[in-house]
Structure formats: C-alpha cells, structure tokens
Amino acid sequence: MTQNIYDDPGFFQGYSQMPRSIGGLDAAPEWPALKAMLPPIQGLKVVDLGCGYGWFCRLASEQGAGSVLGLDVSEKMLEQARKTTSAANIQYARADLEHLDLPTNSFDLAYSSLALHYIKDLPGLFGKIHAALKPGSRFVFSIEHPIFMAPRNPGWITDAEGRKSWPLDSYQMEGERVTNWLADGVIKQHRTIGTLLNALIAAGFTIQHVNEWGPSDTEVVAQPALAEERERPMMMLVGVQR
C-alpha cells in the first residue's frame, strides 16, 4: 500500500498546524481556482479521494450534495473529519487509493486535493475513477506540480539582487522523490505533465481545464509570501470529463 505518512505522529502534528488544516478551503490559496472548475454540487453523488480533515466533504454536504463519500488512508484524518460533522449525507471510510474499490457508474463528481502525487499506480487509479463515475460527470483534482517535485534539491536560489529562481533538474526522471516535509522520508511520485495527462486520456477522460496555479496581483498584495509562487508553479489543477 501507499506510505501512510499522515499517521506518523510528527507528520500529523505538523500537518494539523498548517493554515489549510486549521482554516480549511479558504486558507488554501488555490481554492478559488479549483472551485471555479467544479460543477454545481446540489444533488450530486460526490467522492473525495484523500479527504483529509473533510473540509471539501462538508462544503459539498452543505451545498446539498445527494451524498458525499470521503476516503482517506489515514485513520487520524478520518477521526478528525468524523468529529466535525453529523450530516446525514456524508460518509467517511478508510481506503488505500492504490487499491481503490468503488461501485461502477455511481458518482457524479470525483474530487481530490493534493493526494495523487503519493500514488504509484496512477493509471490504475484513473481507470477505477473513470469506472466509478457516470458518463458525462467530472473529475477535478489538484496535484503537486512536476516542476516543484522533480529537483534533487527542491529549494530556492536567491541571487545578489534578492531574486529567486528554482533550480530545476531531473524532470524526465520519473519515479520516487523523498523529501523531509513535516517528517523525514516522505515519498512522492514524480511524473511529467505529459505522463499525467496522457494517463487521464488513456483512462478515457477528456481534458477540460489545466491550471498551473499562481497567485494574482491582488493575492500577492494580501499575502506577500505568495510572491514566490509566480516564479514556478507548485500545484496543478486539472478538470476532466468522463
């Protein structure tokens, strides 16, 4: 199964203190762009792959989703998620996305936030998501950007004038990247944008929208720390149709 770093006590402790863990969707700078890619949720059967604390599940529930299934590999995450809601249309369940087992032709929307870069067999997962969705429905997700993930030494270089650049290398070498983010030895799977998109197409999806998220000028004024995100993308948001 996938490394379950979220149940590592140190990692979980660090993660629980991140702005997006405390503040939810509105504390995630990419959320407005991701939200704009979603269909109206009223009445839809929704599945959230890697639901974490369940922020999106609760939003979907509040927006009148027919049902929301939040899946995560982390028991700790699910425990937190369950504590925060008693809504009748939400169900949380433990699932390893490497071995997903969903009923076919059952969902109107699949959603995933920053989880898919942990998955080894992404073509396999895409095939299962495609099968689980009803024809015409959407799959919208965010994933770490390959530019962010590829380098041997992922960190900024600052020049004499204080300008930052991101030393990219190893872009074509797909496979494991081990970083020490919140805990030592976090394993992610690097693949190129081409590989990612071709896997979606091979699974039967039609690409609808690709957003390599970066902040607007207004967002940089409000949160100056976001300025560096204009130099290289950290996330990709992708919307596809089944």
Residues making contact with a copy of itself (CB under 8 A): 147, 151-153, 157, 163-173, 192-194, 197-198, 201, 206-212, 214-215, 229-233, 236
**What phi and psi values does residue 134 have, to the nearest 5 degrees?**
-80, 150
Cβ proximity to a copy of itself: between 72 and 229 the closer is 229
Q: How far is the CB of 208 from a copy of itself (least distance, A)?
A: 7
Cβ proximity to a copy of itself: between 128 and 191 the closer is 191
Cβ proximity to a copy of itself: between 24 and 239 the closer is 239
Q: How far is the CB of 40 from a copy of itself (least distance, A)?
A: 21
**What phi and psi values does residue 239 have, to the nearest 5 degrees?**
-120, 130
Q: How far is the CB of 173 from a copy of itself (least distance, A)?
A: 6
Tokens representing 200 are 């979606």
Cβ proximity to a copy of itself: between 88 and 225 the closer is 225
The candidate with the shortest Cα–Cα distance to 232, out of 169, 188, 166, 167, is: 166
Q: How far does CA 11 lie from the centroid of its chain?
A: 17
Q: Which residues contact 155 (CB under 8 A, 6 or more apart)?
A: 167
Q: How far is the CB of 230 from a copy of itself (least distance, A)?
A: 4
Q: CA 158, CA 171: separation in Å to the nearest integer?
A: 21
Q: How far is the CB of 138 from a copy of itself (least distance, A)?
A: 14
Q: Which residues contact 241 (CB under 8 A, 6 or more apart)?
A: 136, 137, 138, 139, 205, 206, 208
Cβ proximity to a copy of itself: between 103 and 152 the closer is 152
